[in-house]
Amino acid sequence: MKYIVTINGKNYEVEVEKGQANIVKTTEAAVVPVQEAVPVSAAPTAPAVPAAPAVQNNTVSGEPLKSPLPGTILAVNVHQGASVKKDEVLFILEAMKMETEIKAPRDGVVTQIVVAKGASVSTGDILLALQ
């Protein structure tokens, strides 16, 4: 059986022997319209998690607490208006399959939370504002 497979924007003609999963012949093909859709099984993917965007400039009121490294916010342990103590864990950030605690740099009151659970952040993105 012959199939047209697109990889990185290039079309390839692939010939497969019946009953086998081995590629017998491949040639780079010109763009050829496929007349019949052929189902292809794909590896399951994790469900998408909606992410809240992080603020990347200093538009918060108060002292900004910035992400020390890129990753995904796993937990937000505070709410707006909460009083926090120095070294209290405010966020849990996952980076490279490791969890990092983001702690309060000083005592204060949370005036604004910029990110939500599931948000992807980069180094230096503002997470919250502290008064």
User: Is residue 49 assigned to a domain?
Assistant: no
> How would DSSP label each residue in 15-75?
EE-TT--SEEEEEE------SS---------PPP---PPPB-SS-SSSEEEE-SS-EEEEE
pLDDT tens digits, 21-77: 544 455 555 545 445 555 555 555 555 554 445 444 457 788 999 999 999 999 999
Q: Give me the phi and psi of 19, to 5 degrees please.
A: 80, 0
CATH number of domain containing 84: 2.40.50.100
Residue 19: give the domain boundaries: 1-36
Indicate whether 107 and 68 sit together in one domain: yes
The pTM score is: 0.56
User: Is residue 24 assigned to a domain?
Assistant: yes
Indicate whether 31 and 90 sit together in one domain: no
Q: 83 CB contacts (<8 Å, ≥6 apart)?
A: 107, 108, 109
User: Is residue 47 assigned to a domain?
Assistant: no
